[in-house]
Amino acid sequence: MQLVFATNNLNKLKEVQTLIPSHIKLLSLKDIECFEDIPETQNTIEGNAIQKAEYIKSKYGFDCFADDTGLEIEALSGAPGVYSARYAGKQRNADDNMNKVLTELQQFDNRNAQFKTVIALHLNGETKIFTGICKGEITKIKQGQKGFGYDPIFKPLGFDKTFAEMELSLKNSIGHRGKAMKQLYNFLNAR
């Protein structure tokens, strides 16, 4: 079986390649010669994941899965949420996004947050949804050089390190994407 992972984010692709069953050949968007930006115009994380998976299936004909991830911060009423990738503007710059979050949280003691990943799998004409959540808190400063996105300011519950200070194997075992991928893995392995 082969599946397309509908992402242009090479960091996500690298993370997911370590989590997919070995009997499945994972194809990237580059592999199927998809070089355009896939639409993400829904107002929910679930909606964006489904939209991306359906786009690849309808335009390229491949079974595929797509994810969307959002950082949801309690004190900011769930923001940045679905707008996480472009929170500080269309340039999608991780440092700008983190700086905006840190600035907005200066006035709050409550730094509780969670990462939420939704994976939409489009397979054999059906769509299945898998959700992973990792609870934690936003640090006051950026810490660590690993990972991507908001990883340097997110410390998962029960740990004294941010995602950006962790090895990828640990992050995958406790993180939102890893949890959603585990559900996907178990579903695909049972087929």
Known catalytic residues?
Answer: 68
**Can you read off the two tokens belonging to residue 34?**
């998809």
Give the integer Cα–Cα distance in Å for 17 and 80: 27
Report helix, strand or coil for 140: coil
Residue recorded with tokens 């709050």? 108
Residues whose CB falls within 8 Å of the CB of residue 109, separated by 6 or more in sequence, listed in order: none
Report helix, strand or coil for 151: helix
Give the integer Cα–Cα distance in Å for 6 and 75: 32
The count of C-alpha atoms lying within 13 angstroms of the C-alpha of 47, restricted to the half-sphere facing its C-beta, is: 9
